[in-house]
Homo-oligomer: A and B are copies of this chain.
Amino acid sequence: METRRRLRIGVRVLLVGVMLAGLATPIAFRAQERGQDDLLASWRNGQAKTAILSFVQQVTDKSSSKYVMPEERIAAFDDGGTLSTEWPIHVNQMQMVYARQRVKAMAKRQPGWKYQEPFKFILDDEDEKLGRSLKNPWNMLDLLRAVNQSMTVDEFSSEVQAFLKTAKHPKFKVPFAEVAYKPMLELLALLRANDFKIYIVTNYGADFVRELSESVYGVPRDRVIGTTPEYEFKDGPEGGSLVRTKNLSGYNEKSAKAENIQLHIGRRPILVAGNADGDLAMMAMAAGGKRPFLNLLLHHDDSEREFAYVENSEKALQMAQSRGWTIVSMKNDFNVVFSFQKE
């Protein structure tokens, strides 16, 4: 199955390569003329890079039939697995590292956790059992609720800032601000230079990601769409504040990503980048519009520089092939994965 899929991808790349051969020169020329391929220095030449440069060139060229007005140039990026590394989620994902740290800090006041999933696996550092336990959404919800614990949004912001200052990625041993994919940061810069509006659309907590979205991705807080708790307004003599309650207001994944794009943006994206089944609804929205679009699916096939896995991405890889969306091989299309690694 896996081999056949790779084969099909290979054939597809070959076919698209042949189709693009005629176009390649003028596109490369135009892009070079504008210096835009320099912005993608960490991308190897190939189908993905060509697709990106060609798309950006067309939608920004007023004389092209594919021209898109700047206000319509909406780009939606998943975070974990698309902009930054997150695998394996229950061990290395930044919010999970935070949750584990917090559960351990709160454990004294919660004696029952010693006997309760998923908390007991965190307290005993039983990573594999934790991973299995969190596949049950009720256990994941229990964990999220425990970590959410009735803070104000200002308190939560300070706490996450403090965490990000000291925490390191368990495998790569660098701050979480540095586990963003270098080629994807370059892509964000390219899009910004071409007047795209970039949004992060993530299943992570919106308030968590906001604490590094501006400094790491150049994406302002109001363009981060994620999972949120229900907030509760409280007035007082010093003015109003907002408490993060234990209730989630919905999990921002799959259909919810498409629906929340309407809630927050009110426009279809024309560029979507994701890496998993949870990003397919966004991609379907881009594909369903009247404008040209580009869907990019990151394939985690690089066991040396990052990780190789297809879990939660099987359907996405299949659909990207059948609908002709662009698959980005991290192994072949990325010259370098992280800034801290040597090329």
Which A positions have Cβ atoms within 8 angstroms of B? 71, 153, 197, 206-207, 210, 214, 220-224, 228, 230-233, 235-236, 238-242, 249, 255, 258-259, 262-267, 280-281, 284-289
Contact = CB atoms under 8 A, between A and B. Distances in A.
A228 B289 contact: no
Given A222-B267, A231-B262, A240 B207 contact: no
A214 B71 contact: yes
A242 B221 CA distance: 25
A141 B68 CA distance: 38
Contact of A263 (B214, B228, B241, B280): B228
B287 A240 contact: yes
B285 A240 contact: yes
Number of copies: 2
B233 A264 contact: no
A285 B239 contact: yes
Contacts of A206: 263, 266
A202 B264 CA distance: 14
Contacts of A221: 265-267
B288 A241 contact: yes
Contact of A258 (B242, B265, B288): B242
Given A71-B214, A255-B233, A222 B266 contact: yes
B153 A262 contact: yes
B239 A288 contact: yes
A230 B220 CA distance: 26
Given A231-B258, A231-B262, A239-B284, 5 more contacts: A71-B220, A153-B262, A232-B259, A238-B288, A240-B284
A264 B222 CA distance: 6
A266 B154 CA distance: 10
B285 A259 contact: no
A265 B224 CA distance: 8
Contacts of A71: 214, 220
Contact of A235 (B214, B262, B265, B284): B284
A341 to B, nearest CB: 31
Contacts of A228: 262-263
17 contacts: A71-B214, A71-B220, A207-B266, A210-B266, A221-B266, A221-B267, A222-B264, A222-B266, A222-B267, A224-B266, A231-B258, A231-B262, A232-B255, A233-B259, A240-B281, A242-B259, A249-B263
A212 to B, nearest CB: 13
